[in-house]
A = this chain, B = another copy of it.
Amino acid sequence: MPAAVEDRDKTEENVSEKIHRLQSNSSQLTVDDEQLQLAAAYVSDAQYNRNIQFETSPQAIRFYKLYNHWSTQGVTYFFILVDLFLALFEDPAVYLLPVWVTSVVEFICLLMFTLRLFHFSKITPTKVFWRDAKNICVIVSILLTLMDMIVYLTLRETGYFAVRWSRVLRPLFCVNFTESRQLRRAFRNIRNTLPEITYVFVLFMFSVAVFSLMALKLFAKRKLSTVEGALYFSNYLDIFFNLYVLVTTANSPDVMMPAYEVSWAYSIFFVIFIIVNTYVFMSLFLAVVYNDYKKHLKNEVRKLVYMKHRKMIEAFNLLKITYGTEFVVPDSRWRQLVKLVAPEIPSSQRELLWRVSDDEQKGFVGRESFIRLADLLNIQVVQMKERTHPLEKCLPNMYNSTVSQFIQRIVKHPGFRYTYDVIIVINAIFIGGDETNPLISKAEWVFLTLYISEILLKLFVYEPRAFFAKSQFWNWFDSLIIVAALMGTIVNAALKSSGGYSSQQVLDIVFILRVLRLIRIIDSFQRFRVLLNTLVNLIPTMLTYAGLVVVVYYIFAIIGMEAFKGRIQFYGANSSDPAAKYCGNPALKGSQFAALRYCRNNFNNIVSAFILLIELTVVNQWHVLAAGFVKVTHLTARIFFVIFHIMVVIILINIFIAFVLEAFFVEHSLARSAVETAVEKKIQELGMGDCVDCPAGNLVEVMETNENDLGNTDNTDLKSKLRFKIASIRYKTVDALLQHMFEEELNPEDEIPTFEEIDNLSPDDYVPKQPTFDSIA
């Protein structure tokens, strides 16, 4: 094709001409180091979606770099954790430490938080700093905590009763440090959703109140009795509470039975109540939460995207030079910048990114292309080197012998996997058996040997670094489980043979490991692997949620501990103490709480408190637990338990469902971003693609073609055995997907708002387009 060649030659002429022209005004090519640093700060922010406005002075930028360094972030997280874990050692404690120890540690934590905040204040413009609610929140929390500590220690020394109430503020540090953006957003969403929910809640309460009045009129005069022999539905408040519990379904059908026994017609009352309040209102709560969650999420995403573009534009403006009528960034500056922003990227990969940015090989990039850099840096390009097996290198004769070849063929045969699937199933049966039986305990060694030899064989056949690559989840899982089980079994056998004593803890762990081994069978079914991947992809989303739950639980646990500590005692599983029967509190004599042996469910330390709160979240029997605490502390307990129920079950669980639904839909509406497509196209163009799937012959062909194609360009560092692959073509979070979508809808000509404007965006500013058939339902 001579025409094509000519064409290429022409382009190259143009390119060299352009570069020449660019270099002619060379004064423009060297860039001020300070400006470069500033641009790098902008780009880095855009890459990691940091929503921070910083000062542009060189000193502030140095500070800012330090602020975002993993070490200072790590230290902050560490002290937040220390602060939270202090609850383990403070009265009521799991392991009680002297007050002065915990106080000193807490003081150090506060000091670190102050330092961090001070550091931040040096970075951000003063006006912005003081307008930011989270800074104010941290300052107030630190001051209140200090005050509380002083008051508490003084009162304590002078022998007065004192409460460390400021401990409930601790999770605020966790929420308000800039690193926990996701968590903060979740909280902001909850806060934003509250007004809307409140109306539904009031209507819901009105509905329960009306039904209660009806129940009072219907049942109070009948003098029915409950199973426990108490008077059934005798006063209004009692009925109201019972019907509220019925909404949570915790006392169904018991609460209905006395009336139902009199006449089946009364059951209609309860059925209507449940339909209206449990199903309709609770669905309405879900719908309101979900709807608001989506609305505010969109606004946040919009802010993030604008902020990213704004920062990239600022960086562009710092680095741009004039070229003809347009502004561009020449490749030398671009390379300097990328080196500074992402020093960990190898030069070959940087070259690839440059190729993507400067698609037409002009020697410079325009504004549009420059803005894409933030996303480009986020794409994980994996460099794959084709490695030969280390044994083949060291002992080529042995590794390529007939026996070795035979083993390799066997291990690679599907039958090998099927055999192990069968072994796992047999293993499951043996695990179910009684391990004191010598046959079974010996079989365990056989199975262990089989599993270990499987791993060794695979390591013999596959290249070890490939076998233990990051993406090989199941190989890691198998090996860890097997090695741990081997070690556990050895430790256990050693303990047993040494003194006939076997530690229950070690045994328990060994048992768990043995059972976990069975999970591997899922990997053998394509369909389940897909489902499991979906679940694994949900994990990042769930972790944000877990953070949210921990914060809420922590606050309730601290309050619960202050209010109820020591009121309910647990005397051990087989205590003969008569007080054990009523949890050490005479008020509980004859209560359902004591009868069901719920004494362990108390607020006597933070671990117990967390477990109790989880039980309350699961809802079932929460009214019995609440009734137990009501018996020992009256009104406080009822308020505490109801508020917890509303906060966690009505709001948090619905947000969880919203989280999961969104994450799941995202999994189903995947689309590659334009940037990823561009990178992949370039990789393919350069013939550096991942060819694991393509047949060997084809691969060679492709490589040869590349050699020709790339003949006269400067690809020397890109060629050879390098292979690139995009690590993940899936968006891991709803967030990321939404960002990409919003970006794609953004018109390139649209004006990006300024920092100030971005800050003040509200969800109502955004006029959504008409819904489409695909979007709804």
- Residues of A in contact with B (beta carbons under 8 Å apart): 199-200, 202-203, 206, 210, 213-214, 216-218, 224, 227, 236, 249-254, 256-258, 260-262, 264, 267, 271, 274, 278-280, 283-284, 286-288, 290-291, 294, 297-298, 301, 428, 431-432, 435, 508, 511-512, 514-516, 518-519, 522, 527-528, 531-532, 534-535, 538, 542, 570, 572-573, 595-598, 600-601, 607-608, 611, 614-615, 618-621, 625, 656-657, 660-662, 664-666, 668-669, 671, 734, 737-738, 741-742, 744-745, 768-777
Contacts and interface: CB of A to CB of B under 8 A. Distances in A.
Contacts of A279: 656
B618 A620 contact: no
A611 B253 CA distance: 10
Given A601-B253, A611-B267, A657-B286, A776 B261 contact: no
B531 A203 contact: yes
B252 A615 contact: yes
Contact of A274 (B251, B614, B665): B614
A747 to B, nearest CB: 13
Given A261-B600, A284-B535, A776 B666 contact: yes
B287 A669 contact: no
Contact of A515 (B217, B527, B608): B217
A250 B249 CA distance: 10
A252 B284 contact: no
Contacts of A660: 280, 283-284, 286-287
A665 B508 CA distance: 49
A526 B774 CA distance: 33
B213 A428 contact: yes
A618 B247 CA distance: 10
Given A199-B531, A512-B217, A227 B595 contact: yes
A668 to B, nearest CB: 6
23 contacts: A199-B528, A203-B522, A203-B532, A210-B516, A214-B515, A218-B508, A218-B512, A252-B618, A253-B598, A253-B601, A253-B621, A256-B615, A257-B598, A261-B573, A286-B660, A287-B664, A291-B665, A297-B777, A666-B777, A669-B771, A769-B774, A775-B775, A775-B776
Contact of A213 (B294, B515, B657): B515
A611 B264 contact: yes
A597 B261 contact: yes
A581 to B, nearest CB: 12
Shortest 5 CB-CB contacts between residues of A and residues of B:
A775-B775, A287-B664, A217-B511, A283-B660, A741-B773
Contact of A214 (B271, B512, B618, B619): B512
Contacts of A435: 217
Interface of A, helix, strand, loop or mixed by DSSP: helix
Contacts of A532: 203
Nearest to A667: B287
A258 B572 CA distance: 11
B428 A671 contact: no
B618 A250 contact: no
A298 to B, nearest CB: 6
A542 B582 CA distance: 47
B621 A777 contact: no
Contacts of A283: 656-657, 660-661, 664
Nearest to A735: B777
A561 to B, nearest CB: 15
A256 B249 CA distance: 20
Task: Give how many copies assemble into the complex.
Answer: 2
A741 B772 contact: yes
Contacts of A775: 771-772, 774-776
A615 B251 CA distance: 11
A301 B290 CA distance: 25
A288 B264 CA distance: 37
A777 B600 contact: no
A750 to B, nearest CB: 13
Contacts of A252: 615, 618-621
A686 B283 CA distance: 44
Contacts of A538: 280
A70 B214 CA distance: 39
Given A217-B512, A257-B596, A769-B774, A280 B535 contact: yes
A615 to B, nearest CB: 4
A5 to B, nearest CB: 37
Contacts of A288: 664
B618 A278 contact: yes
Contact of A511 (B214, B294, B573, B598): B214
A356 to B, nearest CB: 22
A627 to B, nearest CB: 14
A607 B199 contact: no
Contacts of A600: 257, 260-261
Contacts of A771: 669, 671, 741, 774-775
A518 B210 contact: yes
A527 B196 CA distance: 10
A777 B666 CA distance: 9
A615 B252 CA distance: 7
Query: Among A535, A598, A618, A745, which residue has the most Cβ atoms of chain B within 10 A?
Result: A618
A666 B777 CA distance: 9
A274 B278 CA distance: 22
Contacts of A199: 527-528, 531
A769 B772 contact: yes
Contacts of A607: 264
A664 B654 CA distance: 15
A777 B519 contact: no
A251 B620 CA distance: 7
B527 A669 contact: no
A424 B291 CA distance: 34
A431 B220 CA distance: 13
Given A199-B527, A217-B511, A287-B664, A776 B741 contact: yes
A271 to B, nearest CB: 6
Contacts of A224: 573
Given A274-B614, A745-B773, A772-B772, 16 more contacts: A202-B528, A210-B519, A214-B512, A217-B515, A224-B573, A253-B625, A254-B621, A271-B611, A280-B660, A287-B664, A666-B776, A666-B777, A669-B771, A671-B771, A738-B777, A771-B774
Given A773-B741, A774-B768, A432 B615 contact: no
A516 B777 CA distance: 36
Contacts of A598: 253, 257
B665 A227 contact: no
